[in-house]
Amino acid sequence: MKSYNLIYILDDDELNNMLNRQFLNFTMPQANVITFEDPVDLLKNLIKNRLEQPDLLLLDISMPELTGWEFLDFSKKYNLSFDVMMLSSSMHFNDIDKSRTYSQVKNYIVKPLTQDNIKHYIIDRKKSTIELD
């Protein structure tokens, strides 16, 4: 299992990004954590190889310019390959179920990101405990 040394967080909420970066830096001090608020800009820079592809992308679903789902669709279209974990406030079963249709998505984490979540999902790579009925 490869380690996650370069982690990108994509969320349009600046405060969420700051807090999540701090939790990750504290829990995984070896990782380089970079936050992004603009999905279109991040996608363009990854496609044009202006940015290194991360080992892991923590991806929000609800963003104004491009949803997390659209971001995943473009990633697949342009053969970007990195692990993704959805990081969303949505506990809606449709979102959780949809996340399982993307091979890139390794897990679905419900916000807020906590040290326990980081250890459980990102470090130990345990699957989401949210099950569909």
The pTM for the full model equals: 0.93
Question: Can you tell me the distance from the alpha carbon of 121 to that of 112, in angstroms, rounded to the nearest whole number?
Answer: 13
What pLDDT score does 30 carry? 95
pLDDT of residue 128: 63
Question: What pLDDT shows up at residue 92?
Answer: 83
Look at phi and psi of residue 114 and say left if phi exceeds 0, alpha if psi is from -120 to 50, else beta. Answer: beta
Q: What is the pLDDT along the chain (133 residues), one digit of tens a residue?
A: 778 999 999 999 999 999 999 999 999 999 999 999 999 999 999 999 999 999 999 999 999 999 999 999 999 999 999 999 999 988 888 998 999 999 999 999 998 899 898 998 999 988 765 554 4
Residue 132's pLDDT is what? 47
In which order are the strands placed within the sheet that holds 83-88? 32-36, 6-10, 56-59, 83-88, 105-110
Class of domain 6-123: alpha beta
Collapsing DSSP to helix, strand or coil, 26 comes out as: helix
Question: What ranges do the domains of the chain cover?
Answer: 6-123
